[in-house]
Amino acid sequence: MSAILLTGGAGYIGSHTALALLRAGFDVISIDNYSNSNDEALKRVQKLAGRNLQSLQMDIRDEPALTALFKQHRISAVVHFAGLKAVGESTEQPLAYYDNNVAGTITLCRVMQQAHVKRLVFSSSATVYGDAKTMPIAESAPRSATNPYGQSKLMIEHILEDLAASDPAWSIALLRYFNPVGADKSGQIGEDPNGIPNNLMPFISQVAVGKRTELSVFGNDYPTKDGTGVRDYIHVVDLADGHLKALEYVQQHTGIDAFNLGTGVGYSVLDMVQAFADKNKVPVPYRIVARRPGDIASCYADPGKASQLLRWQAKLTLDDMVQDSWRWQQQNPHGYQE
Ligand code: NAD
Ligand code: UD1
């Protein structure tokens, strides 16, 4: 039987997708260089699923190792999560970002082409919309980038578009994630950021658990309902399900298509703080501070295309997001590190 290859399968979104794929009966191979993850995540995934997958330590830029992998296994499609994702770090280390993300994707695609495996689901991001002028954002909105991380995603989208145009056998889905949050209901797997979290939800969780004293809310003078930034938070379990639907889609269609994976609903920073504190009955002290450079006021998806073509819709609620994030944080105050 053929398998689905996940690159970056031990990461936050990769591990939840691995679990969803195993539960749906797929055979799964994960490759990861563990630069931002721990193989404990996939051990837990296998326990939760009651089935094994094959996980290998490998860098997507290692062309000989990748080539051997494609020779050894029958792979029907690739879900490509591997990459670096910290915006601030990308401005300090642009070469590392272009090398991992862009060069890594080129290597992966070259090996796939040689192996005649031409079905690809790629982790893109709402960051490719830059500072969008109209909300909600449809896939046809203009694209731009404001930092090397975003630029790397945009460059990869262009490269994949050119690849699909060069050879009609390719079948590619660009999944533009909005703001992934939450964790599997078991509390066994979740987001395990290195050091001080950049993103809102892991920061809130670490304040609630007492690891950090207070949340800094970056600005309350945006043109939004309460002045704080508005985002489209999407539960990672819904996101994982979106990958299953995208895999079905690339089996049935050729060419390239972009899909927003979001709920279509925007919540402010203060909405998130309040929902977390109320639902989990835990205080989340916060202070309003200056805006974070590069932040935008609002960003939320028009998820209509994914609903129509992938037959995918987010089902989980804000309560699920804050409760599941909290369960993971409480059960694993130090993440995957014992
Ligand atoms: P993550 O860091 O948890 O997972 C990425 C995984 O890729 C990690 O396990 C890391 O060790 C691995 N990796 C990195 N470079 C590699 C390389 N060269 N070779 C092999 N493995 C490598 O991040 P995530 O949140 O799960 O994100 C997955 C993908 O989704 C990334 O491409 C990210 O840019 C994209 N994305 C994430 C978000 C988000 O907020 N989490 C939003 C939009 C898009
Ligand atoms: C950030 C990245 C974006 C990436 C996305 C998902 C930046 C500029 N953008 O987006 O490229 O695709 O993560 O990984 O980093 N906030 C606070 N206090 C905090 C943290 C966040 O008030 O300590 C606010 C932010 O100002 C924003 C909202 O919370 O309004 C969400 O922030 P975050 O989780 O970092 O996501 P994005 O800014 O959407």
> Residue 244 belongs to a domain with what CATH number?
3.40.50.720
192 domain-assigned: no
pLDDT score at 337: 87
Q: Which residues, 6 or more positions from 186, have their beta carbon under 8 angstroms from its beta carbon? A: 48
Instruction: Write the CA distances from 211 to 142, 270, 281, 320, integer angstroms.
Output: 40, 20, 17, 22
Catalytic residue among 12, 98, 149, 233: 149
CA of 43 to the centre of ligand 2 (A): 30
Token pair 């050119």 is found at 162
Instruction: Please list every protein residue whose CB sits less than 6 Å from any atom of ligand 1.
Output: 7-8, 10-14, 32-37, 59-61, 81-85, 100, 104, 123, 125, 177, 180
Domain count, the chain: 1
Domain assignment of residue 148, yes or no: yes
Pairing type for strands 75-80 and 3-7 reads parallel
Domain membership flag for residue 202: no
| Nearest CA, atom 7, ligand 2 | 87
CA of 241 to the centre of ligand 1 (A): 17
Residue 130: give the domain boundaries.
Answer: 3-181+233-262
For residues 200 and 90, give the distance between their C-alpha atoms in angstroms, rounded to a whole number: 18
Q: Is 273 in the pocket of ligand 2 (CB under 6 A)?
A: no
Work out which ligand 1 atom sits closest to the CA atom of 153.
34
Atom of ligand 2 nearest to the CA of 179: 6
Query: Terminal CA-to-CA distance of the chain, rounded, Å?
Result: 36
CA-to-CA separations, 212 to 163, 196, 259, 327, in angstroms, rounded: 46, 9, 36, 17
Distance 199 CA to ligand 2 centre (A): 5
Atom 3 in ligand 1: residue holding the nearest Cα: 11
| 195 within domain boundaries | no
Closest ligand 2 atom to Cα of 231: 39
Active site residue 149: yes
Low-confidence spans in the chain with pLDDT less than 70: 338
CB 230 within 8 A of CB 268: yes
Would you say residue 44 lies in a domain? Answer: yes
Q: Is the CB of 177 under 6 A from ligand 2?
A: no
Ligand with smallest separation from the Cα of 189: 1
Residue 198 C-alpha to ligand 2 middle, in angstroms? Answer: 7
Could you tell me if the CB of 179 is within 6 A of ligand 2? yes
Using CA atoms of 204, 281, 211, 193 in order, give the dihedral in degrees to the nearest 10.
-40
Among the bound ligands, name the one nearest to the CA of residue 56: 1
Ligand 2 pocket member 271 (CB < 6 A): no
Tell me if 28 is assigned to some domain. Answer: yes
Nearest Cα residue to atom 41 of ligand 1: 180
pLDDT at 97 (0 to 100): 98
In a domain, 186, yes or no: no
Question: What pLDDT score does 313 carry?
Answer: 98
Q: In this structure, is residue 314 part of a structural domain?
A: no
What's the pLDDT score for residue 258? 98
Q: Which atom of ligand 2 is nearest to the CA of 87?
A: 15
